[in-house]
Structures are given as C-alpha cells and as structure tokens.
Structure 1
Amino acid sequence: MKQSFLPKVFFMPGDGHGWALDEDLRQMRMALTGIVQETSLARAEIIHTPFWQGLSVVHPEILQKAFVIAHADNPPFFYLKQPDFLRGQQHVDLWVARSSEAFEQFHALRLPVTYIPYTIDEKLFFPIADKKSLRKKFGIPEKSYVITNLHRDSEGANLSTPKFQKAPELMVEILKELHARDLSFHVLLAGPRRHWIRHALAKVGIPFTFVGKSDVEGDDFGVNILERSILNELMSAADLMLIPSRWEGGPQSIMEGAACRCKILSTPVGLAYDILEPLSLYHSISEAANRIAEDQKKNILQPTLEPQWKRWQQSHTMQRMKKDLQELYQKLPNDTLFQKKSIASRHSWIQAQRMQIFHSIGNRICKKRLPSHVGWNHHVGKDHDLDQIFGSLGNILKDLNILTRPANGSGIEFIGFPTKDLLPIQKSCSRFQWITPSMSCASLLQEASIIAPGVQDIVKLRSAGLLNSVMVLPLPILSDQDLCEEPLVIYEKDTTASLTIWKAMAAGRPIIYPIASAYYEQVFHGGFSYQQEQEIPMLLEMARKEAPQLRALAKVPSRESAQKAIKQLLEIIAIENKFL
C-alpha cells in the first residue's frame, strides 16, 4: 500500500507476560511496519495502545495533544464499572472494538469507534489429527470424552476465590449435572491460576488432568504459563472446549479452538457471536448438559467445525488485522480531529519529554491517598431510592475516615438530587452526581460525571443525548422483598428497572429480561434473557427449576465491593487534581 506520509507513532507496552496484550502489540507492530514511523512518547503524533489503562502513566497534556488510539480488550459495558474509565472516556480519541458485541456497545455509549476483529497467528494454531499420541503425551485417558477449559479460574489476590469474569462455578455446575446423569467424561485443565476449579472438581469426584506444575505453593502465574504450541496440542487432544464466562473481550480461545477445529460450547459473550454456530452457544446449565450429552451420543457438534473454521479464517487472522489497521491509518489524514491534534502535537519534544519525566517520577513517589473531605449535596425526600443510596454512601465515607462538608463548587463533590442553593462549580472542582433510573434529565447536572446503579441507565441517558462522563457503581440497597424463588420478569418497555433488579437479586430471585437491553450486565448467570415475550412462560418454568443454581451464580452489590470502587475513584481523582 502506498503511503504519502509516515505518521510518528508511539506504541504503548502490553501486559509484559507474553499473554493476549503482548500478542496484540506484536501483531499491531507487524501490521504497521513501513506504514508508520515509530518514535518516542514525547515526539508522537499518535499514541497507539493495546490496553487503554496503560495511558495512566502518560502526562495528561501529552494525551491531549496526541491522537490516542486504544484497543478495547474487554467490552465497554464492563469498562463502565471501572473508575479509571472516566479517564479513558476523556483521553481516547478512537476506540478499536475487537468484536461486533463491543462495537455495538461503543455505539450505544456514543464513543468514537472502529471495528478491527481480534486475531491470532494462523501459524500457531491448526488441527493435529493424531489425538491418540497427544493424549498419551499429556497423560489423558485415550478413549474418554475430554472436556477442556484453558482459562484462569482463580482470582490472583485470593487463589481460593473463583474469578468472577471466567465463571468457573458455572462450569462446575454443568459438570456436576453430567456426573449426576452417569455420563463418562474427563476434564483437561492447564495454565496458571487453576487452583479453584482443581479443588472444586476433586471435592465432587470429577476426574481431571492438569497439565503444569501442580505442586507450586501460592501463585503459579510465572510458572505455569504455557507456550502456544502446547495450547494448540491440548485443544487438538480434547473433544470439546467449554467456556462459561460472564463476559469476554475475546476470548482468544474461541479463535484458537476454531482454528484447531475443536468443538466449542460457550456462553453467548464476546467473539462467540462472531464465530460460533447457534448450536455452539448455551444459556443455562441444563441446556449445556443436554448439548454435551447429545454430542457424546450423536456427535451433533461435528457440523459446527467447518463454518466456525471458515469464520475464523475469513476475519480473525493476522492478514485481516494488517489490512484493517493499514486502512485505518490511510484514512487518518482526512480525520478532522486528527488534523487538529497533528498541529497541536508539533510542540517542543524536549518540553514534552521533560513533562513526562516529571510525571513518571511523580507517579513513583506519590503514594495513593484519600482526600480528607468531600463536598456533599442531596435533597432528602425527593427520591426514596436515592436517599438509601446516599445513606450507604455516607456510611462508606465514614469507614474510609472521609469527612463531608456542604458542596461549594470546589474539590471533590458528591451530589444526589441537587438542592436549589447548590453553588456552581469552580475550575478546580470534580463533581459527581449519583442518580436513580427514575430521575429526569432535568435533574441532572451538565457539569457532573454521572454515577448510575446499572449499565442500562447509562444507555438510556446516552439515547436521550446526555454526553457527560459516566460510570456504573451500584451501592448496596435494602431489598423490599422476601427471599423467594419466584422469578422477576422485566418487560421490553421497562428501561428503568436496574434498582428493581438489584432488589430482586438481593432477595434471591432469578431475573428474566429482554436480550435487547443492557440488563445482562447486572444479571449475568443469575437469570435468562428472551428475544420475544412469547418465550417468557418457558423461561419462568426453567428459572423456577434452576433457582438454587441461579441464586448461587448471581452477585449483588456489597458494601465491600462498593467501598473498594469508591476508594479507587477517590484515589484517582485526588492524585490527578491534588485534592489531598
């Protein structure tokens, strides 16, 4: 491809562990060889990162002047729950969505986005026909129906806790159901942080093989990361890859499994929509167990292999990434914002380098600290749910030893339903407004960052044209319902049900909701979605039957999780604005 100019680009680093982000960075560089001129951060016209959170190490003024392109390693609805995504919304000029699901979510949030699918190196993943030799190599029973999962399943901070995103609890429930039906199968595990699922399977007597060093005390992250050639062999040795995740940016294993022609059964998340056949998707424990049982008896998933391989080969190889990235860079000179920033970036690189050096030193020596106080303004009695939220918020601030004072337009401020005497903000103020679904747009402050209890609330605000910075931070709220197994049904017209859902989940009720909504980001595996309301009676019956498992898989806001998020938010804002 002919290129009339070579933009000066700085590539931000990956994860440093040789995993997905490092691989993404490697592919980015290869795709743009000869198309861009790599340079230092201080001289860059474009900052291109495989991971937007890495931008926190860059001086804000450099980010303002350069054109920032960030790959989204997770769907943006998940990012909304990360306090530092407020910064991402402000600094990223173009998001690169890696799945059609993420692309649609970025559009719903009115954020600038292009679509460049996740890719893998086609030289590293391919079918290996000799299953017998592979199983012998890894000590896997030769004639067993082998179910594999190669995702981390334990939280790094606590290896006895299941990793929430990867939902290994759901996988264990499916395997327990198969075990209860007296079906014969063997589980194949590999990679680091498999502590939780190994313990869970051993506890219920489900046979498994773990490929790696099992005698490592504590975190084995630096020990059990496997070469991709080994992963390719493991997928080729298995009969089925089972993916139980609550959400995914990829996962890469869907591409890898499709390339290896391994059967896949996945929850409908991330790349599953783009690569997998409908028969390869499941929505409940019973559906997954039935599908696996049928595959054992009748090989029903065999016809999915060819179309899934074709979709991977067509859209998820390095050649596709090279084509898409080069086309993106070819179009950039005509982008109005890029033109504007290209002029702004022609500042003294020496000055920029000096700023970055001081910023880096400051990041190293500046300890995370909380502000001593925050501004406070809420009209009690206007919104019962917001009164409860502010009650919980006040208690959390007390736990953090943070005082409140009347909001006066300076420092960090938490606003609920604003009083009439609320003062306008000064330049140095960071104002956050907590909202409920029932609040009208007229009650929302244009100058505030909005904090909502659910993703659906943000989508609704965006559709109404509100473009404030936004985040999701649900606080524990008292349920007004008794513990019961009767599911809660949310109908298509109800776009203000986020708090109703939290209350029902706190009471142990499964949720049935429209798939076209963003309520999945609350419910996850704690209920079922429907495309048409005619499906509701069937789903009600299924939800009643599986209520105990659905309740166990649900997660409601806790005081601990809310306090952790508020602490992180305050630390970020305090350091950035020096409100200490």
Structure 2
Amino acid sequence: MGNSKAKIFIFGKDNICWSIDKDREVIAYFLKKNDLKITNNIFEATHIFCVWYNLLFHPKYLWMQLLRKILHFKIIVVITNDITFCPEKLKALSKYVDIFIAPSKKIYGFLKEKKLRVYKIPFFVDPKIFKPLYFSQEEICKRLNLNWERLENKIVIGSFQRDSLGKDLSQSKWQKNPDLLIEVLENLPKGKFTLLLAGPRRHYIINKCLEKNVDFLFYGNYSYIQNKKDDILSNNLPLEKVNYLYNLTNIYIVTSKSEGGPKSILESALTETLIFSTNVGLASDILHPDLIFDENNVGELIEKIYRFVENFQCFERYIEYNYQKALKEMNENLLKEKYKRVILENS
C-alpha cells in the first residue's frame, strides 16, 4: 500500500498565526504522527501538500506547475472554502492537482461528481483546547478582564469570525454575510441581548451595530476599530482565550453564505455552546438539523431564539448531539489514519 520513501513539502503560510498557519501546523502534526518525512527542500519532495489551494493562483507560484513536470511530484491541495462558487478555479486546478482534500461531505460529494481524486478530512479543532469550562460567566469575565455588568442578565450572542475585507475594512466579506446577523439582532428585544464580538477585522459589523443601535461588547483592542486600522496582528487571540469566549456565550450564530468550515461550528460544538448556522460548509456534518436555518427565513431563527430564552433545557439534546458529532470527527487516531491514506495510497 505504501512507500516509506515519501517526502512531503508543506506549502503555504501567512506568518501571522492566522488560519493558514494553524492549518499548516495541523498537517505537519498528523504527518509526523505517521512517521512520514517532511522536507524543506522542494527538489527532493515526492509530494507537495498545499495548505490553501488559492496560493497556486498567485503569479509568484506559477513555477509550481512547471516544476511538477520536471520533478514529477504529486500535488495535494486543501479546498478551504466552498469551491462550488468558483468553477473556473476548479477547472484550472484539475489540470495539474493530483489529490484534493475536502473538509465537508458537501464539498467531497461535489468533487467526486467531477471524477477527481478526493479525500474527506475535516479542519481540526483541538478538543483539549476547546472544551466546556465549569466557571460562572462572572468568573470568566474576571479572567478576561471584561466588564461583567455589560453582560449580566443578558443573553450573550457570540460571533468571533472576521467579517471585513482586508483591502477595505469598511466593506463586508460577502461570504460571512454579517448583515444577516445584524438583521437578526435588530429583530430581538432591546435590553435582553448583547452581541459579543472578538477577533480581527470586525470593523464592518461594529460600525453596523453603532449605526443600528445594536448592543455589543468587543473583546480586543478597540482603538484599531476607532482609527480604521487593520488589527490582523493585534486582535488575533490565543485559542485558550477564544475558548473562554465560547464559554461566555449563550448562543453562537453563523450567518455565512459560503464556507469551507467554518471552524466556529466545531468550536461551538466542542465547548457545548448552542449554535445556529446557515447550511454552509460542514454545518450539516456536525449540527443537528433543527439548528440549521434558511438565510431567507430569519423569522424561523428568531422563533428558535425565543424558545431558548423561555426554556433553554429543550435545546440540551441538540447541544449533546453536536458535541458527540464533533468529538467523533476530531478523533486524532481517525485523523491520523486519514492523512496516512492520502500519502500512502498516492505514492
């Protein structure tokens, strides 16, 4: 089945400890657990493992296609977003990419239909980091140096995904669809709910909250928002702090139009945080069907939020369902075998 002489060159990094860097660490971790050799010399590589497929379209990396013809290495790419929205990119990739990694059943099925060689491996979220904490919300606020009085007696709705364009922070990322989250909050009773925001590039949604008089609390260095400066290097939080924020949250809401993940679905599930999501990425792989809502039917979501407020216990079985699903998907032994198959079945 295998070839112990495989040497893997991992391609792709952003050097800011952002999503790409974390995904790179995960790939290296599981390859090493299989005793597979990772090389820093592309000229001796048998496999190129591309962390983010979009990198291959950057002009400075076009040499990769030529080098493949000379050195005959195999190219593996991770499909990090919903590539069904980018048929022209998939067509270009299929000409020289040997193996595709799909993070969800939805993308896996789509690539299978295109007769491409594909493996389903979800994004990894570490259950040792993202887990339930048995502290009160007040205690968590103390540990995070957050003003507890701002959240006391409120239903806390969490959102920790970036929503603004890097090249123009006043504009939203259409994929994240933050306007839908604002619409939801506008239709909830004033004084009962607070939107807890964290992470870099939240400029758009914060400005919308101010414009629409939506109550919010931002965890991070707010001066970057006030000065309209990019905070990608300063408000990118340690994962342990993000875990605290999930444990402070009553309801997490994903309103995206297009996603590969998002990882927040796994993070919410593992922290036993109730989550509602549009049917994007791996939502249907992890979440109970009753927690997936139609972006064109905000009333349905608002009705479920009211039900939670009236009787949160009726959602406990959904939270347990999500938790067990996520825990199974994040099983390290299972993931180790999946990465092993990718290399050994293609050597």
TM-score normalised by structure 1 residue count: 0.54
After superposition, give the CA deviation of every residue in 1:221-262 in whole Å (9 maximum; x if it has no partner). Answer: 222111111100000001010110001101011111111111
Q: Find the counterpart in structure 2 of residue 258 from structure 1.
A: 269
Q: What's the secondary structure of 1:247's corresponding residue?
A: coil
Task: Report 1:42-441 matches (<5 A).
Answer: 42-56=43-57, 57=61, 58-64=63-69, 65-80=72-87, 84-130=89-135, 131-136=137-142, 137-140=145-148, 141-179=151-189, 184-216=192-224, 217=227, 218-283=229-294, 284-299=297-312, 300-333=314-347
Q: What's the secondary structure of 1:295's corresponding residue?
A: helix
**Quick one: distance in 1 between partners of 2:74 and 2:344?**
14
- Output the amino acid matched with 2:202: R
- Output the amino acid matched with 2:45: A
- Larger Rg belongs to: 1
**Quick one: distance in 1 between partners of 2:146 and 2:74?**
48
Sort the Cα spacing of 1:92 and 1:286 in 2 relative to 1 into closer, same or farther, 3 A: same
The reply on whether 1:22 has 2:32 as its aligned counterpart is no
**Quick one: distance in 2 between partners of 1:250 and 1:231?**
17
**Quick one: distance in 2 between partners of 1:307 and 1:223?**
35
Asked if the contact 2:154–2:191 (Cα under 8 Å) also holds between the matched residues in 1, the reply is no
Q: What's the secondary structure of 2:133's corresponding residue?
A: coil
Sort the Cα spacing of 1:318 and 1:110 in 2 relative to 1 into closer, same or farther, 3 A: same
After superposition, give the CA deviation of every residue in 1:376-425 in whole Å (9 maximum; x if it has no partner). Answer: xxxxxxxxxxxxxxxxxxxxxxxxxxxxxxxxxxxxxxxxxxxxxxxxxx
Percent of residue pairs identical = 26
Offset at residue 63 of structure 1 (A): 2.4
- Output the amino acid matched with 1:123: K
Q: Find the counterpart in structure 2 of residue 35 from structure 1.
A: 36
Asked if the contact 2:121–2:338 (Cα under 8 Å) also holds between the matched residues in 1, the reply is yes
Q: Find the counterpart in structure 2 of residue 565 from structure 1.
A: none
What are the ranges of 5 or more consecutive residues in structure 2 without an aligned counterpart? none
- Output the amino acid matched with 1:288: L
Q: What's the secondary structure of 1:305's corresponding residue?
A: helix
Asked if the contact 1:8–1:38 (Cα under 8 Å) also holds between the matched residues in 2, the reply is yes
Offset at residue 12 of structure 1 (A): 0.4
- Output the amino acid matched with 2:257: R
Asked if the contact 1:172–1:200 (Cα under 8 Å) also holds between the matched residues in 2, the reply is yes
- Output the amino acid matched with 1:274: D
- Output the amino acid matched with 2:260: G
After superposition, give the CA deviation of every residue in 1:290-349 in whole Å (9 maximum; x if it has no partner). Answer: 11111111113222111111111111244432121012223224xxxxxxxxxxxxxxxx
**Quick one: distance in 2 between partners of 1:42 and 1:255?**
37
Q: What's the secondary structure of 1:142's corresponding residue?
A: coil
Asked if the contact 1:69–1:93 (Cα under 8 Å) also holds between the matched residues in 2, the reply is yes
**Quick one: distance in 2 between partners of 1:87 and 1:4?**
29
**Quick one: distance in 2 between partners of 1:3 and 1:232?**
39
- Output the amino acid matched with 2:107: A
**Quick one: distance in 2 between partners of 1:264 and 1:253?**
9
TM-score normalised by structure 2 residue count: 0.89
Offset at residue 37 of structure 1 (A): 4.5
- Output the amino acid matched with 1:206: V
**Quick one: distance in 1 between partners of 2:166 and 2:217?**
22
Asked if the contact 1:120–1:256 (Cα under 8 Å) also holds between the matched residues in 2, the reply is yes
Q: What's the secondary structure of 1:273's corresponding residue?
A: helix
Sort the Cα spacing of 1:84 and 1:330 in 2 relative to 1 into closer, same or farther, 3 A: closer
**Quick one: distance in 1 between partners of 2:322 and 2:107?**
20
**Quick one: distance in 2 between partners of 1:236 and 1:169?**
25
Offset at residue 42 of structure 1 (A): 1.5
- Output the amino acid matched with 1:76: I
Moved over 6 A (4+): none
Q: May I ask how many residue pairs the two structures share in their alignment?
A: 328
**Quick one: distance in 1 between partners of 2:308 and 2:191?**
12
**Quick one: distance in 1 between partners of 2:120 and 2:186?**
39
Sort the Cα spacing of 1:75 and 1:110 in 2 relative to 1 into closer, same or farther, 3 A: farther
Offset at residue 76 of structure 1 (A): 2.0
Offset at residue 194 of structure 1 (A): 0.8
- Output the amino acid matched with 1:144: K
